Structure 1
Amino acid sequence: MLRHLFTLIWNRKRANLLLISEIFFSFVVLFGVGTVLITTAKNYFAPHGFNYEQVWRLEVRAGQNLKMPRAELDDVLRQVKALPGVRTVTLTSGNFPFIFNTNNSNLAYKGKKTPPANNYAADDRYAEAMQLHLREGRWFAPADDGSNHRPVVISQDLRKIMFGDGPALGKIFTYSEPGPNPKSEDEFQVMGVVDNVRMESDFSAAIPSVWLRLLPYDTTHWETANVLVRVAPGQGGELQEKIARTVAGVTRQWTTEVRVMDDDRLHRRRYTLVPVVGLCIMGLFLIINVALGLFGVLWYNISQRRAEIGLRRAMGATGAGIGRQFLGETMVVTTFGVVLGGLLAAQFPLLNAFDLPVQPYLLAIGAAAAAVYAITALCAWQPSRLAAAIQPATALREE
């Protein structure tokens, strides 16, 4: 039976070439859309590695052309910490989670360079505020004030890149291009390792990260201080107003903006979803057009082969057998298109395209193949029923 189907397909190779081409391009589109959706979903369900709930971010600004003496800044932070409902206050850098501000650099250990890693400045209370989970070692402490190298904490993925399965605590690394006059603060000593973090968006993958301890130096060169505040559950606008009044009341010249980190996350999620939704709509529109094209081509093929159908029915073929023949032909032609598309799709994991793991590509290939077979079977079902219903006397009389 299969050999007979191949013979029929070969005898109509020009018409079937169009079907194979449509199926091939349908597979490619579904593979691309599937890869994006599978990767996005996988990232969405992965843990963030920190707790963004009940965390607010503050941008404390000095007056125009003014700087921030460390003593005054510490006084402001103490008074904010003393407010009812505030649990932890920590200084950090301006690249807060979920905002469009990044700071990354390449690092090196014994000549081995890393891909770009996110750099975050953090003080001794950052891990408490963000509820990071330590896998090895410890977070920063006042005992690090006298360190000869700048204390850092790294994420697990960065640890694996730099040190593999070897020990990481106490190791010293640098920037990949430290510059002509490297300083001791540009040499980093690993104090701890935390879980991987996803601070870009809900749909982003984990990025290797390093937290550099804020040096205990005077801040008179600062015009803005970036602060994270963890608050008790249920706190809202009233506490935000108290924080703003407290900052303004200490110096009479400083101001602050209070933002909720969860709001930043939702805003970034909407921004990230726009291209994904657009890609899905384009893919769906293209697949609908391809399905309509397949349906029309199959319908036309049946109308052109009415004499053949009538002759086979006259020789004893059943209607169900005719229907299975047309459906089988369609599935064989579909297999040609899927195999060609699969060969193209297989190049992506082999070439490590877009730095994605192999699993999303394999899942997308399987999902695209299943979807293409389902679409072609659905498109061939009604024409196959029409072919099965053709009576031999009617078909032969028309000829």
Structure 2
Amino acid sequence: MLRHLFTLIWNRKRANLLLISEIFFSFVVLFGVGTVLITAARNYLAPRGFEPTQVWRLLVRAGQGQKMPRAELDDVLRQVKALPGVQTVALTSNNLPFTFNTNNSDFIYKDRKSPFANTYDADDHYAEALRLRLREGRWFAPADDGTHHRPVVISQDLRDILFGDEPALGKIFTYNIPGKATKPEDEFQVVGVVDNVRMTTDFDEAIPSVWKRLIPYDTTHWETAAVLVRVAPDQGGVLQEKIARTVAGVTRQWSTEVRVMEDDRLHRRLYTLVPVVGLCIMGLFLIINVALGLFGVLWYNISQRRAEIGLRRAMGATGAGIGWQFLGEMMVVTTFGVILGSLLAAQFPLLNAFDLPAQPYLLAIGAAAGAVYLITALCAWQPSRLAASIQPAVALREE
């Protein structure tokens, strides 16, 4: 039976070549959309590595042309921490989670180089504010005051890249600056390792990260200070107003912006979803057009082969047999298109395209193949029923 189907397909190779081309491009589109959706879903379901709920971010700015002394800033943070409903206050850098600010660098340990990693400044209360999960060592503590090398905490993925199976705690790594001598301020000592974190959007993968300790009570003057505040459940606008008044009470020349981190997360989610939804709509529109084309071509093929169908029915073929024959022809033609599309799609995991693991690509190939077969079967079902209902006497009389 299969050999007979191949013979029929070969006899109509020009028409079937067009169908194979349509199926091939449909597969490629579905593979691309599937890869994006599977990767986004895979990242969304992965652990975030921290808890953004009940966390607010403050952006404290000095007056125009002025700076905030660190001692005065620390006094403000202590007063904010004393407010009822505030659990933890942490000073950090401006590249806060779910914002568009980024700060990244690459590092080196012996001959091992890291990709660009997100770098954050963090004080001793940062891990408590975001509830980072320690895997090794500890977070920053007063015991780190006066250390020769700047203490850092790194994420697990960066630990695996730089140190592999070696112990990481106590090791010293540096910025990757080829051709320049290493300065003491460019050397970092690992005191802890935390879980991988996803601080950009819900749909991005974890990025290697480094947290550098902010030395308390230093003499730095700040123009802008980013602060994380973990609050008790069910806190709202009243506490936000108290925080703003507390900051203004120190000096009326400072301004304060209070944002809820959960709102930032939802904003970044929407910002990420818009192009993905647009891509899905374009892919759906293309697939609908391809499906309509397949349906029309199959309908036309049946009208052109009425004499063949009538002859087969006159020789004893059943209506169901005729219907399965046309459906089988389309499945064979679809297989050719899927094979060609799979050969193209297989190059992506083989070449490690876009630095993605092989799993999303393989899942997308399987999903695209299944969707193409389903679309083809649905398009071929009604024309096959039409072929099965043709009576031999009517078909032969028309000829």
TM-score tier, shorter chain, comes to over 0.9
Q: Structure 1 residues 219, 100: CA separation in 2 closer, same or farther (over 3 Å shift)?
A: farther
Asked if the contact 1:69/1:218 (under 8 Å) is kept, the reply is: no
Q: Which amino acid aligns with 2:209?
A: S
Asked if the contact 2:70/2:221 (under 8 Å) is kept, the reply is: no
C-alpha separation between the residues in 2 aligned to 1:347 and 1:180? Answer: 39
Query: 1:200 aligns to what?
Result: 200
C-alpha separation between the residues in 2 aligned to 1:179 and 1:204? Answer: 34
Q: Which amino acid aligns with 1:53?
A: T
Query: 1:14 aligns to what?
Result: 14
Q: Which amino acid aligns with 2:190?
A: V
Shift of 1:394: 0.7
Query: Is 1:3 aligned to residue 15 of structure 2?
Result: no
- Calculate the aligned-residue CA RMSD, in Å: 1.1
Query: 2:380 aligns to what?
Result: 380
- State how 1:65-80 maps to structure 2 within 5 Å: 65-80=65-80
Query: 2:326 aligns to what?
Result: 326
C-alpha separation between the residues in 1 aligned to 2:222 and 2:75? Answer: 15
- State how 1:1-399 maps to structure 2 within 5 Å: 1-177=1-177, 180=180, 182-216=182-216, 218-399=218-399
1:127-157 CA deviation, whole Å, 9 max, x = no partner?
A: 0011000000000111111211110000001
1:266-309 CA deviation, whole Å, 9 max, x = no partner?
A: 01111000000000000000000000000000001101101101
TM-score, normalised via structure 1 length: 0.98
SS at match of 1:48: coil
SS at match of 1:230: strand
Shift of 1:238: 0.4
Across the two proteins, how many residue pairs are aligned to each other? 399
SS at match of 2:99: coil
Shift of 1:166: 1.6
1:361-399 CA deviation, whole Å, 9 max, x = no partner?
A: 111000000000000000000000000111111111111
C-alpha separation between the residues in 1 aligned to 2:242 and 2:179? Answer: 45
C-alpha separation between the residues in 1 aligned to 2:302 and 2:181? Answer: 79
C-alpha separation between the residues in 1 aligned to 2:123 and 2:131? Answer: 14
Shift of 1:216: 3.6
SS at match of 1:317: coil
C-alpha separation between the residues in 2 aligned to 1:183 and 1:256? Answer: 36
Asked if the contact 1:67/1:220 (under 8 Å) is kept, the reply is: no
SS at match of 2:221: coil
Shift of 1:217: 5.7
Asked if the contact 2:323/2:385 (under 8 Å) is kept, the reply is: yes
Asked if the contact 1:324/1:384 (under 8 Å) is kept, the reply is: yes
SS at match of 2:68: coil
Asked if the contact 2:62/2:253 (under 8 Å) is kept, the reply is: yes
Q: Which amino acid aligns with 1:264?
A: D
Unaligned runs of 5+ in 1: none
SS at match of 1:146: coil
Shift of 1:181: 5.5
Shift of 1:178: 7.0
C-alpha separation between the residues in 2 aligned to 1:354 and 1:217? Answer: 44
Asked if the contact 2:9/2:329 (under 8 Å) is kept, the reply is: yes
C-alpha separation between the residues in 2 aligned to 1:340 and 1:180? Answer: 51
Shift of 1:222: 1.4
Asked if the contact 2:123/2:216 (under 8 Å) is kept, the reply is: no
Give me the identity figure in percent. 85
1:61-102 CA deviation, whole Å, 9 max, x = no partner?
A: 111211111221111011000000001011000000001110
Q: Which amino acid aligns with 1:109?
A: Y
Asked if the contact 2:70/2:222 (under 8 Å) is kept, the reply is: no
C-alpha separation between the residues in 2 aligned to 1:181 and 1:223? Answer: 31
Q: Which amino acid aligns with 2:147?
A: S
TM-score, normalised via structure 2 length: 0.98
C-alpha separation between the residues in 2 aligned to 1:220 and 1:387? Answer: 83
C-alpha separation between the residues in 2 aligned to 1:313 and 1:97? Answer: 69
List 4+ stretches of structure 1 deviating above 4 A. none
Asked if the contact 2:71/2:217 (under 8 Å) is kept, the reply is: no
C-alpha separation between the residues in 2 aligned to 1:36 and 1:64? Answer: 45
SS at match of 1:189: strand
C-alpha separation between the residues in 2 aligned to 1:252 and 1:327? Answer: 78
Asked if the contact 1:322/1:387 (under 8 Å) is kept, the reply is: yes
SS at match of 1:373: helix
Shift of 1:111: 2.5
C-alpha separation between the residues in 2 aligned to 1:274 and 1:264? Answer: 16
Q: Which amino acid aligns with 1:222?
A: W
Q: Which amino acid aligns with 1:267?
A: H
Q: Which amino acid aligns with 1:5?
A: L
Q: Which amino acid aligns with 1:150?
A: R
Unaligned runs of 5+ in 2: none
Q: Which amino acid aligns with 2:64?
A: Q
Asked if the contact 1:310/1:392 (under 8 Å) is kept, the reply is: yes
Shift of 1:186: 1.2
SS at match of 1:169: coil
Q: Which amino acid aligns with 1:333?
A: V
SS at match of 2:36: helix
Q: Which amino acid aligns with 1:169?
A: L
SS at match of 2:88: strand
